[in-house]
Chains A and B, each alone.
Chain A
Amino acid sequence: MTALLRYQTSIMLRSHRWIFPLIGYALLIAVGAAGSTSLAETLDWSGAMLVPVVAFLTRAMLTAEPDAARACVAAAAGPVRAQLATLIVPLGGGAVLGVVAAVFDVLTAAAAAKAPASGLAAKVTAAANHPGILAGGLLIALVCVLVGSAAGALCNPPLLRHPAAAMLSTLAAIVLALAADVSPASAAISHTTTQAASPVAANWPGTGALAGAVCLLVLTWAVSVIAATRRDNWSASSG
C-alpha cells in the first residue's frame, strides 16, 4: 500500500493537479480570515471551504491515470487497493491543507481572545489558552474533508464518466454538502454558528455530523471501489 500511495502522491504533485485547488483554497481562507470576527468563525470558514477543495482534488486524481496505466497497477496490486490509494491521496492532501489553514488562522486571528492582542507570540498564547477553539476547528475541518472526498468519489469516474456530467454533479454535490440541512458538513458548520455567542467559545461539530461524515465516506468509497473493479473503460463513450 505504501508503494501505491507514493505512486499516486507523485502523480498528484508531478502533474501539478494540486495547483488550482491550492490557489483557490488560499484565496478563500484569506478572504475568510479578513472577514471574520473571531478565531472560531475563521476556522469554521476554512473548514467549510475544504469541501470544494477536496472534492475537486479527488476528481483530479480519479481522472489522472490513463486506463492502461491503471490496469497495470491493478494487475500488480489488485484493483481494490489501487482504487483506495487513488482516493486516499487527495483525502490526505485535504487534511494537510486543513492543518496548514488552521495554523494560518491562528497566526492571523485578530480576536483570538477577549482582549485582542497584537504580535505573533500574543496570538499563539491566546489560542493556546483556549485549545478547545483550535481542536473544534480541526474537527470541523475533518468533517468537511470527509464530505468533500465523498462528493468527489460519488460524482466522478468510474461512477460518472462523462466529463460535463461529472463536473456539474460535483459542483451540485458541493453546494448540497454546504447548504442542505441533512449534510454532515452543513450540520457541523451551522451547529457552531448557533453556539458562537462569545468570541472565546469553542465551536464543536456535533458527534452526529462526524459519524454521518464517516458513514458517507465509507459508503461512497465502497461504491467507487466496486465500480473500479468492474469497469475497464473509464472514458465516457463505451464499456
Chain B
Amino acid sequence: MRLEAIGKRYGMRRPWVVRGVSADLRAGRLIRVSGRNGSGKSTLLRVVAGVSLPSTGRVTGRPHTGYVPERFPGGLPFTGREYLLHLSRVHGLRGALGRQRVEEWLERLGAAGYADQSLRSMSKGMCQKMAIAQALLPAPGLLVLDEAWTGLDQAARAELDAAVAERVAAGGTVLFVDHDPALLAGREDERWNFDGAGGVTVLTGPAPYAAPQAERVTIRLETADAAGVMDQVRAIDGVRVISVDVEEAERS
C-alpha cells in the first residue's frame, strides 16, 4: 500500500491539515504516528483508513481495513452483539463465520457479559471495546487505531496489544496513534512524526517486527578500542539499540 503526496483540507479556503505525505505501508509493519494535538494525526489516519478521500494525491493498494475511531459514542439503536453482527456482515463475513468471530472478540475483550446491553447505555470503555471488536472481526490487512487504548481496562489493553502483534505477525500493517510513549514501546518499525505544518517525517526502524523480541542486556567491557567494539556489537544479528555508558578507566 502506498500514499502518494497526500494532502487534506476541509474546504478550499481552509488551511491544509495534512500536506505532501508520501509513504509506503509495507506488510508486517507497526507504525506509530506521533505529533501534538491538532497536528493532523487523526485526519491522516482517516485518509489512510479510507474513511475520507484526500484533497490531493492518492492512496493505492489498500487492503481490507479495520478502523477504530478516537471516540465511539455508541448512539445506535442496537445492542452490542447486534451491532457487531451487522458490522461483520458489512465486513463481508457470512453467517456462521461472522457469528463465531463476534463471540470470539467479545470473549477476548472481556465484553461478552455486556454484549446484550444497548449501545446507548454502555459505558465509555465498553463502547470502545465494541469499536475495537468491529475493526478486528475481519482480521484486516490494514488496522488503523486512533487512540484505541483510551478508556480500556488493563486486561483489554493487553488483549489489544496482543491483537496488534497478531496482525503484524500475519503480515498486516498496523498504524496507530497514542499519546502514551510506553504503549508498544520499542515494538514499532516506523515512526511518522508530524511537524507543525501538516508535514510528516518518516523514521524507519532497522528491523521488521517479526524479528525476535528485544531484550535488555547489560554488558561490561574493558577495552582500549571502545568504538571498534561498538561496531562489532552493532553488527550482531538482532541487536537494534545500544545505549553506551562509557567510563574512562583511570590511568595510573
Contacts and interface: CB of A to CB of B under 8 A. Distances in A.
Interface string A202-230: 00000000000000000000000000011
A140 to B, nearest CB: 33
B194 interface: no
Report, as a range, how many residues of chain A touch the other chain.
20 to 34
Say whether chain A's binding surface is mostly helix, strand, loop, or mixed. Answer: helix
Dominant secondary structure at the B interface: loop
A233 B86 CA distance: 23
A78 B50 contact: yes
Interface stretch (B73-81, B223-231, B237-245): B73-81
Interface residues of B, number: 35
B51 A79 contact: yes
Interface string A3-38: 110110011001110000000000000000000000
A232 B72 CA distance: 14
Contacts of A11: 76-78
Contact of B144 (A75, A229, A230, A233): A75
Interface stretch (B89-97, B156-164, B179-187, B201-209): B89-97
Contacts of A73: 87, 90
A72 B113 CA distance: 23
30 contacts: A4-B90, A7-B89, A11-B77, A14-B77, A14-B78, A15-B76, A66-B73, A68-B73, A68-B131, A69-B76, A71-B49, A71-B67, A71-B69, A72-B67, A72-B69, A72-B72, A72-B131, A72-B134, A75-B49, A75-B65, A75-B66, A75-B144, A76-B87, A79-B51, A79-B52, A229-B52, A230-B10, A230-B55, A231-B10, A239-B10
